[in-house]
């Protein structure tokens, strides 16, 4: 039993526990989440006049703090206690405080009974348990190290491998032999016939290049190195070749994990990368802000540009320019014939600002052209992904003239396609989720049957389980994306155990302590987003146009609302109009605070202005709601709502123009997986207020370079913004201080150069360990295939049949 629970039961607080549980039993709610529990505890302490010390310092107070859920069943309380990150305990407590430890299977049955979906007379339900597949793989022990998987993997496997010097040298020798580019041998050739000879020749080659000028080009002495057994790939100059060979020499003589990582990160083994963003509307003009695409398109385009640049840089440093090596990056997405004037109906589109990065579009098969020739919501795309992957494989092989060296999935559908392609082509698979829907929609798994017609969560969550377990490594933007915080469950953690009533029970859905998880935050595109103070890089005519658009332009097609006093300090936000992004919540927060309205205007850039222009039901609801809030709080003259799609150059200038007027940026999402707009605002110099639920919690250091807000507490949020505005009016330097610290924060931690260097290093290191350890994942992959063919595919076929009759 939990030591904390036992302490409460053995102390004088036992009577308070009994009384509090009695209060819980008499509530209308039968399923309480953490916020409900804390609010109930506040009410209990107020009702019985408990001291502040008792509320927060008592053992009972701590127990309540760590209790994530309470389910009432037949007078008993089922408690889910999460005293440690990534670890939960389950108990049933009776009215007389008898405690029974529950297994995960028993807890899932309780949840099924709660929604009247427990049928013991019909036999057991399918249980999914991935735990055994991780029993024989290394796992991290300390939760603090979750998300630092490659560091742990290096230490763990290095220590095992280095214990046997002969095996270690033989493994490294075999690894160096396999590298080629388009059939041309790299690194070592047949003149080096053994690991012992390799060691000797390395020392000889180091001495040889050491006698040459450090900057002497590799081409001048490549034939000498070839005679010693060394092919291109060691470096582009004598100095670079010497450095690389010296690292390997040190690694052979006295191996350690840091030297190993430094060496593997230099190996030329990745030249072709495929990124999958399958649900479409993926383009560079006229598509940003469409439902389902905005943030993901921005992220991938910026990532691809940086990846290609880094691959070119790595290729040059490796000395491969003379071989005419041209790294290539392909974004795989779907082709949409009815593309609404965009380029989404073109098979191939070059990515702006790159030499060899492309958007490759593959059409869906025409099961029902009324659907497949048009955009399809991410919630409806599932029936087409298997055949899309089959067709995409042929297109990728043709476009890349061979297999990619790395495939990166994006979002649930893209990750499933990446799994199918990786399985067929036997290549390294990386997963990037951006956001997992399961944690965005409350009780989405418990009530999946009620939501199935609209969201098809049974397919989505099954796809997530398959992809995250199949991936060789997983990139998350933040630590909490994986395992949350002390008082919140992480996105991946929410897949640890859950029920899909009448479908399956997930006993162990993901190993959170697996070294496959790595935190690699994205960057911000510095070509478009840079500090407002860099006037030499700003275009005066762009600035004037943006100022007019934001504050004065009278155009009912693009703008709603005319500002009575455009000189007021602007509060600015930009996002698509959906429930989670919560721009309507920000408008209501502004509407409820007359003091804030006296000092500021609210400016929103948000999707469409009219319901009839939208194809997305949630966006339509939010449009109606936003108009209602403007009328309810009489915000006419104080709010301006722009329904525009801006190119990146203009969106960067928007932030800077707001900063020119000493404005602020507010990101009010109910949950934000990362927060790219937070980075864009901060690097532009805007003091930023962002949701405390999700990624911004790790980007911003509260009251140092930005501010946290709880978007569900409207008055509190308004007070925080007003406090900042008041301080700035009293001390104008305060705005500059927060602005400067925000800029510094982004440049030190969140650049695409940092991101892609780390991502490629991870891909090489995981590829190395897969080769060396020859890890047999076939049992896991077969299990995942069974899940795909026996659960996913039949449900996808059912959805396809529905689509055929539309």
pLDDT confidence bin for 292, thresholds 50/70/90: low
Interatomic CA distance for residues 384 and 244, integer angstroms: 47
Query: 281-285, 291-295, 360-364, 754-758: which has the minimum mean pLDDT?
Result: 291-295
CATH annotation of 535-750: 3.40.50.2000
What is the percentage of the chain residues whose pLDDT exceeds 70?
A: 99
Interatomic CA distance for residues 565 and 68, integer angstroms: 47
Q: Average pLDDT, stretch 397-406? A: 96
How would CATH label the architecture of 3-102? Answer: Roll (3.10)
| pLDDT over 80 at 294, yes or no | no
What SS3 state is found at 331? strand
- In the chain, list all ranges with CATH 1.20.120.1230: 151-177+188-264
What SS3 state is found at 241? helix
Q: What is the DSSP letter of 230?
A: B
pLDDT at 702: 94
Q: For the whole model, what pTM was predicted?
A: 0.87
- In the chain, list all ranges with CATH 3.10.450.330: 3-102
Question: Percentages helix, strand, coil for the chain, rounded to the nearest 5?
Answer: 50, 15, 35
HSE at residue 805, side-chain half, CA atoms within 13 A, is: 5
Greatest extent of the chain over all pairs of C-alpha atoms, in Å: 87
Could you report the per-residue pLDDT of 87-107, keeping only the tens digit for each? 999 999 999 999 999 999 999
- In the chain, list all ranges with CATH 3.40.50.2000: 272-489+756-804, 535-750
Give me the long-range contacts of 700-708 (CB less than 8 A, separation at least 24): 700/745, 701/745, 704/741, 705/738, 705/741, 705/742, 705/744, 705/745, 706/678, 706/682, 706/738, 706/742, 706/745
Could you report the per-residue pLDDT of 645-654, keeping only the tens digit for each? 787 778 899 9
* Average pLDDT score over the chain: 93
Q: CA dihedral in degrees (765, 767, 772, 778; nearest 10)?
A: 140
Selection from 174, 166, 222, 228 nearest residue 200 by Cα: 228
- Which position has the higher pLDDT, 672 or 247? 247
Residue 182, phi then psi, degrees to nearest 5: 50, 45
CATH annotation of 151-177+188-264: 1.20.120.1230
Could you report the per-residue pLDDT of 10-37, keeping only the tens digit for each? 999 999 999 999 999 999 999 999 989 9
pLDDT at 290: 66
pLDDT confidence bin for 288, thresholds 50/70/90: low
pLDDT at 264: 94
Interatomic CA distance for residues 368 and 352, integer angstroms: 33
| pLDDT over 90 at 476, yes or no | yes
Q: Average pLDDT, stretch 516-532? A: 93
Element (H, E) at 508: strand 504-508
| pLDDT over 60 at 289, yes or no | no
Q: Average pLDDT, stretch 741-768? A: 94
Contacts of 534 (CB under 8 A, 6+ apart): none
Can you name the residues that pair with 428 across neighbouring β-strands?
406
Strands 569-574 and 406-410: unpaired
How would CATH label the architecture of 272-489+756-804? Answer: 3-Layer(aba) Sandwich (3.40)
Interatomic CA distance for residues 309 and 303, integer angstroms: 10
Selection from 173, 237, 232, 241 nearest residue 207 by Cα: 241
| pLDDT over 90 at 61, yes or no | yes
């Amino acid at each position: 039993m939990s030591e904390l629970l036992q302490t409460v039961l053995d102390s004088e607080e036992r009577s308070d526990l009994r009384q509090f549980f009695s209060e819980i039993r008499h509530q209308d709610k039968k399923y309480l989440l953490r916020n409900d529990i804390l609010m109930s505890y506040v009410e209990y302490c107020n009702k019985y006049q408990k001291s502040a010390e008792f509320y927060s310092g008592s053992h009972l107070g701590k127990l309540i703090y760590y209790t994530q859920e309470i389910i009432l069943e037949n007078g008993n309380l089922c408690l889910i206690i999460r005293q440690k990150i990534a670890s939960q305990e389950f108990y049933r407590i009776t009215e007389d405080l008898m405690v029974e430890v529950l297994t995960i299977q028993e807890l899932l049955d309780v949840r099924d009974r709660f929604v009247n979906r427990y049928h013991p007379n019909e036999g057991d339900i399918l249980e999914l348990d991935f735990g055994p597949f991780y029993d024989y793989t290394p796992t991290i022990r300390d939760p603090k190290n979750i998300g630092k998987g490659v560091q742990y993997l290096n230490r763990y496997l290095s220590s095992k491998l280095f214990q046997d010097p002969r095996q270690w040298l033989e493994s490294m020798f075999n690894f160096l032999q396999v590298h080629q580019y388009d059939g041309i041998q790299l690194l070592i050739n047949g003149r080096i016939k053994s690991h012992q000879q390799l060691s000797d020749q390395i020392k000889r080659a180091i001495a040889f290049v050491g006698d040459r000028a450090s900057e002497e080009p590799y081409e001048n002495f490549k034939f000498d190195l070839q005679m010693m057994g060394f092919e291109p790939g060691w470096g582009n100059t004598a100095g670079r070749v010497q450095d690389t060979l010296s690292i390997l020499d040190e690694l052979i003589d006295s191996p350690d994990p840091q030297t190993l990582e430094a060496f593997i990160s230099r190996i030329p083994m990745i030249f072709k990368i495929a990124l999958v963003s399958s649900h479409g509307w993926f383009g560079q003009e006229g598509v940003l802000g469409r439902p389902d695409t905005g943030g993901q398109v921005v992220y991938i385009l910026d990532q691809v540009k940086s990846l290609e640049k880094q691959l070119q840089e790595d290729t040059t440093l490796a000395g491969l320019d003379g071989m005419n090596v041209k790294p290539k990056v392909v974004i795989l997405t779907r082709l949409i014939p009815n593309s609404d004037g965009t380029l989404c109906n073109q098979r191939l589109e070059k990515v702006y600002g790159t030499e060899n990065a492309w958007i490759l579009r593959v059409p869906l098969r025409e099961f029902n052209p009324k659907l497949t020739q048009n955009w399809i919501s991410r919630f409806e795309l599932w029936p087409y992904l298997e055949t899309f992957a089959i067709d995409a494989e042929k297109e990728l092989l043709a476009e890349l003239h061979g297999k990619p060296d790395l495939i990166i999935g994006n979002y649930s559908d893209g990750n499933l396609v990446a799994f199918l392609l990786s399985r067929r082509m036997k290549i390294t698979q990386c997963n990037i989720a951006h956001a997992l829907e399961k944690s965005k929609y409350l009780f989405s798994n418990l009530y999946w049957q009620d939501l199935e017609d609209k969201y098809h969560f049974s397919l989505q969550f099954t796809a997530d389980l398959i992809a995250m377990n199949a991936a060789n490594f997983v990139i998350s933007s933040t630590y909490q994306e994986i395992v949350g915080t002390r008082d919140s469950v992480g996105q991946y953690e929410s897949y640890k155990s859950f029920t899909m009533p009448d479908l399956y029970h997930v006993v162990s859905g993901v190993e959170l302590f697996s070294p496959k998880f790595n935190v690699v935050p994205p960057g911000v595109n510095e070509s478009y987003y840079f500090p407002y103070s860099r006037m030499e890089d700003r275009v005066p005519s762009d600035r004037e146009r943006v100022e007019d658009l934001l504050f004065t332009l009278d155009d009912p097609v693009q703008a709603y609302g005319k500002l009575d006093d455009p000189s007021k300090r602007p509060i600015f936000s930009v996002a698509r109009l959906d429930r989670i992004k919560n721009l309507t919540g920000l408008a209501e927060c502004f509407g409820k605070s007359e003091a804030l309205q006296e000092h500021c205007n609210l400016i929103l850039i948000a999707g469409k202005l009219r319901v009839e222009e939208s194809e997305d039901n949630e966006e339509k609801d939010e449009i109606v709601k936003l108009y209602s809030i403007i009328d309810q709080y009489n915000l006419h003259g104080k709010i301006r709502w722009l329904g525009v799609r801006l190119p990146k150059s203009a969106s960067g200038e928007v932030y800077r123009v707001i900063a020119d007027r000493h404005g602020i940026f507010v990101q009010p999402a109910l949950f934000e997986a990362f927060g790219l707009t937070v980075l864009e605002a901060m690097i532009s110099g805007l003091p930023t207020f962002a949701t405390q639920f999700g990624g911004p919690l790790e980007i911003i250091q509260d009251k140092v370079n930005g501010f946290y807000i709880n978007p569900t507490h409207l008055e509190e949020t308004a007070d925080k913004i007003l406090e900042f505005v008041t301080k700035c009016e009293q001390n104008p330097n305060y705005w500059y201080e927060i602005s400067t610290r925000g800029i510094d924060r982004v440049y030190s931690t969140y650049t695409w150069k940092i991101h892609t260097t780390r991502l490629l290093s991870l891909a090489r290191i995981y590829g190395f360990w897969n080769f060396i350890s020859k890890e047999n994942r076939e049992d896991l992959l077969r299990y995942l295939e069974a899940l795909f063919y026996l659960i996913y595919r039949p449900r996808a076929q059912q959805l396809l049949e529905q689509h055929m009759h539309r």
